[in-house]
Structure 1
Amino acid sequence: MADSAEIVEPTSPTSGAAGPGSAGPDRPAAASASIRLDNLTKRHPDSQAPAVEDVTRDEAAGETVMHVGPSGCGKSATLKMINRLIEPTSGQITIGGEEARLRTDGRRGADHGLAGDARRVAATPTRPGGGLMRLAQVRTAVAGAGALLLAVAGLSGCGLTSGSPLADSVQPGSIGKGRPLDGAQLTVTSKEFTEQIILGQIMGLVFKAAGAEVLDRTNIQGSIGAREAIKSGAADGMYEYTGTAWITYLGHTKRVVDPHEQWEAVREEDRRNGITWLSAAPLNNTYALVANQANARKYRLRTLSDVARLTKKDPGAATICGGSEFSVREDGLPGVAKTYGFALRSGNFKKMDDGVVYTQVAEGAACALGVAATTDGRIPELKLKVLEDDRHFFPNYNAAPEMNSATMRKYPAIADLLTPITKRLTGPEAQRLNARVDVDGEDPHEVAKDWLVREGFIREG
């Protein structure tokens, strides 16, 4: 095990409930193969700090391993190197006594039962020195599959109770001249998935360059927690999606077809909640169902109406992998099933972490279809086919700054800072940024900063 890593060996839980990494009806049991890492290091060309540095450790066959820590500390990069999706800069990975080789087809290597990185669980809330955290400092839980639940139970559901100051030395570029936020103390937040974390880091770095002291409270589990933080004033701003606000928060069921009209409707109605919406981005991160190319051809899947046909003609083949939130949201499975007439068998919607869905669909064994976000960088990387929403069910999910209204009254310059940046956030640009994290294993914070500097919005130093 890496230097100073903490080993947690929880006792078996009394409940039979499955936790992250557990074997169950929706997740195959871990394969029996030992894993050894020898001086494993991953450095990205555009980052001064390594994502993972000089990690050496052994994991016995049959163990379940979970990496727990804040965004950017090396969890995803390590798993992607083990699963042979990205190449280490140096070091060796041995699986079952044989050196692992890089996959060139965009899919995972052998099934080691390492399906996710538990990024929702924050054992260490700070990013030391404002930079990356070496894997040696990550808390690692090692236990049998049934015992892993206890390690998670004590740490999950952290909510907005911790954060770390942004320590970057950044200066105004094309925005923030005159440092209009000098003396301000602002808190930014986000949900827990990649795009949200990147957008939260973009907002925080812009505020920092404009003179504010910024507390980073991004990576909050679920939509409601981050939203309530903005509403209550516990956080000052985040990027949110117009469709989420319209349906999930404001309770509407009828979709507004025109993206700008939907943004205007959300902006006007949310004023009474003490929330101010700034201009929306072209970026439309709507839901979609995806399939790998082989299954799309096999089942003749081009549209969601084709999926409805499959659920009736071949119910056993109509399996969908997706996140738990999608399964209950009105703009998710209940609504799309009603609109298209899905006759989905009980148990054929397989709940799993959103990040795992893409590799499961690419492999095509556990599920023929998966729920995807259209701006996710793994869609082109894994050559997944996006099925057409031919009845136009899914709302527009254009990203826009959702700000606490009291904060905007105190610091109206925020609008001028964020508007030019938001306009530059297109769907293809978001896919590229997301891919740098989800495919290449880079740190969301560094990806956000690199993009802002490259676009000329801020300067380092």
Structure 2
Amino acid sequence: MRRRTFLTGSLGVVAAAGVATATGSAAGTGPVITVGSKQFTESWVMGELYAQILRTRGFDVVLKSNVGSADLIDRALRNGQIDLYPEYTGVVLQTFAMPKHMPTTARDTYVAAKKFEAGRGISLLPPTPFQNRNAVAVRTADARKHGLKTVGDLKKLGKISYAEYPDNITGPLGFDAIVKAYGLHDMKVRPLNIGLQYPALKNGDVDAADVFTTDPQLRRYEFTILDDDQAIFGFQNVSPVVRTSLVEEYGERLTEPLNAVDELLTEEAMQALNEAAAMMRLSPAKVADRFLRANKLI
């Protein structure tokens, strides 16, 4: 696989640093660019990836992590408090544009999100290969035994229990929506906080679980992701959202390095990066540095 290396060399354990509200860049004389990220591991890592590669291209970068929810970080971008951040294409539509009907492909989701953002003076750069979206997982042994390939195939199991995090039971991507879309009326919900669904599924306490497709636990356990053939979970590739005025001012000097990073971020690569930060306790800055060096981007 072309340049999709994760880490090379020894993996010394580094205590995870608390993610600061703002991390200054190394001294520089280039244009100042402020990169933001949200309040979770994947966003912290991607913020570091963007910040570090832009520094090597001569920008004086300020990194603001933990800016907040989608609403808050979007407001910070539009108010000029940050210049760019990583966002999920489906979130742009579901949270901000709110169309009557969601697109049915990843490409159409990106195109619709890009068009919406352009109307607000924001540019959406090309998306990552990976998506981080909700999905339904089962134990691989059960998938093989019962021929489970799609979410609808769960009917073959009869009465089953489904792990769902409490905030998502009644949401448009949650338990109630799955039951309705797939007719799974014999499936009962078991509320579990995010992260607890993995040991519950592994140990047989539940038969299926709501997971996120870039969670590092999916690398460690024998689980199978069922195909969401009704496309209720939408499409969630990541694109840098950048104030258009900056794209016009700096052109490829700004966009090329961001695109170079994003084209390497497959689902497998993102799971590995998340695993290093969330489970191996490397700081997001160290994880980003090792990935960029391993792929000869810095």
TM-score by length of 2: 0.83
Cα displacement string for residues 61-89 of structure 1 (whole angstroms, at most 9, x for unaligned residues): xxxxxxxxxxx23xxxxxxxxxxxxxxxx
Q: Is the 8 A contact 2:138 2:208 kept in 1?
A: yes
Query: Taking every aligned residue pair, what percent have the same amino acid on both sides?
Result: 22
2:43 is matched with: 196
Residues of 2 paired with 1:188 and 1:259: CA distance? 25
How many residues are aligned here?
Answer: 289
- For residues 125-144 of structure 1, the aligned pairs below 5 Å read 126=20
3-state SS of 2:34 partner: strand
1:350 aligns with 2:209: no
Q: Is the 8 A contact 2:122 2:243 kept in 1?
A: yes
1:292 is matched with: 139
Q: Is the 8 A contact 1:247 1:331 kept in 2?
A: no
3-state SS of 1:164 partner: coil
- Alpha-carbon shift at residue 202 of structure 1 (Å): 0.4
Cα displacement string for residues 115-150 of structure 1 (whole angstroms, at most 9, x for unaligned residues): xxxxxxxxx664xxxxxxxxxxxxxxxxxxxxxxxx
2:291 is matched with: 451
Residues of 2 paired with 1:164 and 1:373: CA distance? 28
* 1:405/1:441 CA distance change after superposition, 3 Å: same
* 1:349/1:252 CA distance change after superposition, 3 Å: farther
Q: Is the 8 A contact 1:378 1:438 kept in 2?
A: no
Instruction: Give the counterpart of 1:414 among 238, 242, 254.
Output: 254
Q: Is the 8 A contact 2:84 2:241 kept in 1?
A: yes
3-state SS of 1:375 partner: coil
* 1:194/1:397 CA distance change after superposition, 3 Å: same
* 1:284/1:51 CA distance change after superposition, 3 Å: same
- Alpha-carbon shift at residue 435 of structure 1 (Å): 2.5
* Greater Rg by CA: 1
Cα displacement string for residues 251-286 of structure 1 (whole angstroms, at most 9, x for unaligned residues): 125332332332122111111223210111211223
Residues of 2 paired with 1:423 and 1:333: CA distance? 33
Between structures 1 and 2, the one with greater helix share: 2
- For residues 202-281 of structure 1, the aligned pairs below 5 Å read 202-281=49-128
Instruction: Give the counterpart of 1:318 among 116, 136, 161.
Output: 161
- Alpha-carbon shift at residue 323 of structure 1 (Å): 6.2
- For residues 58-457 of structure 1, the aligned pairs below 5 Å read 72-73=16-17, 126=20, 162-167=21-26, 182-293=29-140, 296=143, 301-307=148-154, 313-314=158-159, 317-322=160-165, 324=167, 326-327=168-169, 329-343=171-185, 348-352=189-193, 354-365=194-205, 367-412=206-251, 413-457=253-297
Q: Is the 8 A contact 2:179 2:187 kept in 1?
A: no
Residues of 2 paired with 1:321 and 1:349: CA distance? 6
2:5 is matched with: none
3-state SS of 2:129 partner: coil
Q: Is the 8 A contact 1:190 1:217 kept in 2?
A: yes
- Alpha-carbon shift at residue 203 of structure 1 (Å): 0.6
Q: Which structure would you say has the larger RCO, counting Cα contacts within 8 Å and 6 or more residues apart?
A: 2
- Alpha-carbon shift at residue 329 of structure 1 (Å): 4.3
Residues of 2 paired with 1:227 and 1:370: CA distance? 30
- Alpha-carbon shift at residue 349 of structure 1 (Å): 4.5
Which residue identity lines up with residue 178 of structure 2 in the other structure? V
3-state SS of 1:244 partner: helix
Q: Is the 8 A contact 1:188 1:214 kept in 2?
A: yes
Q: Is the 8 A contact 1:285 1:374 kept in 2?
A: yes
Residues of 1 paired with 2:116 and 2:242: CA distance? 14
Which residue identity lines up with residue 235 of structure 2 in the other structure? N
Which residue identity lines up with residue 378 of structure 1 in the other structure? Q
* 1:337/1:215 CA distance change after superposition, 3 Å: farther
3-state SS of 2:195 partner: helix
- Alpha-carbon shift at residue 309 of structure 1 (Å): 6.4
1:45 aligns with 2:10: yes
3-state SS of 2:66 partner: strand
- Alpha-carbon shift at residue 213 of structure 1 (Å): 2.7
- Alpha-carbon shift at residue 374 of structure 1 (Å): 1.6
Residues of 2 paired with 1:182 and 1:340: CA distance? 57
3-state SS of 1:396 partner: coil
Please, which runs of 5 or more residues in structure 2 have no aligned partner?
1-8
Q: Is the 8 A contact 2:84 2:242 kept in 1?
A: yes
3-state SS of 1:227 partner: helix
* 1:272/1:385 CA distance change after superposition, 3 Å: same
Residues of 2 paired with 1:439 and 1:308: CA distance? 34
Cα displacement string for residues 294-337 of structure 1 (whole angstroms, at most 9, x for unaligned residues): 66578875421134665xx42xx32323363x445434445434
Please, which runs of 5 or more residues in structure 1 have no aligned partner?
1-43, 53-71, 74-123, 127-161, 170-180
Q: Is the 8 A contact 2:129 2:263 kept in 1?
A: yes
3-state SS of 2:231 partner: coil
RMSD: 3.0
Residues of 2 paired with 1:192 and 1:358: CA distance? 21
1:41 is matched with: none
Q: Is the 8 A contact 1:322 1:370 kept in 2?
A: no
Q: Is the 8 A contact 1:242 1:266 kept in 2?
A: yes
- Alpha-carbon shift at residue 376 of structure 1 (Å): 2.4
